[in-house]
Amino acid sequence: MSTSAAGRITNILVAGIGGQGVMTAAEVLSQTALSQGYDVKKTEVAGMAQRGGVVTSHVRFGRRVLSPAIPHGEADILVGFEPAEALRWCGQLRHGGVAMVNRLRQEPPVVTLGLFPYPDDPVAEMRARGIEVHAFDAGAIARGLGNSKLVNTVMLGAIADYLPFPAEILKEAILARFRERKPALVAVNEQAFEAGRAAQAAT
């Protein structure tokens, strides 16, 4: 992607539902970019996150970043932890941007309460708009590895090859967090990361 161009700001929008690890994923991306010498800005919106509300986080990094909010239509990468949320935020992508979408459907309270309908096929709608979408069931991958909380590591693995630094840098940043806090989960997170990369490559 053109995000590797020197001096360019990389804009990543992470969107999902409370409890899916959206803010953790954004924090890992920010810290990794910071470790690579980038100026990093991040902001997030968590609406009733503890009750399954919508959560979004903007991550921006480059030589110099003045604002934490991604200007409308300038996101390089949309990381959609939930397909309807990915559809809702896809308008933030720039022309030629890429969407990485977890197909695992998780209805927010506004849908379960009957206030809004759930889209029939969010991924198809995004593709109909001309967006490059890589969609796969990160939830199934995580469950297959024995821990549904691995979804955010799977999703980070999926975008790793689109970042302006080597995928191994991001993987090592993730694994270092677990070595420090939960060493028993290092190996399975490495598997989740590589599974995400493979899933993206297969779409």
Secondary structure, 3-state, 5-66: CCCCCEEEEEEEECCCCHHHHHHHHHHHHHHCCCEEEEEEEECCHHHCCEEEEEEEEECCCC
pLDDT, mean of residues 17-23: 87
Give residue 115's pLDDT. Answer: 80
pLDDT, mean of residues 31-59: 85
The pTM is what?
0.91
Structure tokens at 17: 């539902």
Q: What is the dihedral of CA 174, 178, 184, 187, to 10 degrees?
A: 10
Give residue 3's pLDDT. Answer: 45
Give residue 19's pLDDT. Answer: 82
Structure tokens at 81: 């932890």
Residues in the chain: 203
Question: Residue 114: which pLDDT band, with cuts at 50, 70 and 90?
Answer: confident
Q: How far apart are the C-alpha atoms of 23 and 57, rounded to whole Å?
A: 7
pLDDT in tens, 186-195: 999 999 999 9
Question: Residue 12: which pLDDT band, with cuts at 50, 70 and 90?
Answer: very high
CA within 13 Å, CB half, 51:
6
Question: Residue 178: which pLDDT band, with cuts at 50, 70 and 90?
Answer: very high
**Across all residues in the chain, what is the average pLDDT?**
91
Sign of the Cα torsion 58, 64, 66, 71 reads negative
Cα-based angle 34, 62, 66 (whole degrees, multiple of 5): 100
pLDDT in tens, 46-101: 765 555 678 899 999 999 999 999 999 999 999 999 999 999 999 999 999 999 99
Give residue 7's pLDDT. Answer: 63
User: Shortest CA distance to 21 belongs to which of 192, 151, 144?
Assistant: 151
Give residue 1's pLDDT. Answer: 44
pLDDT in tens, 134-147: 999 999 999 999 99
Give residue 106's pLDDT. Answer: 87
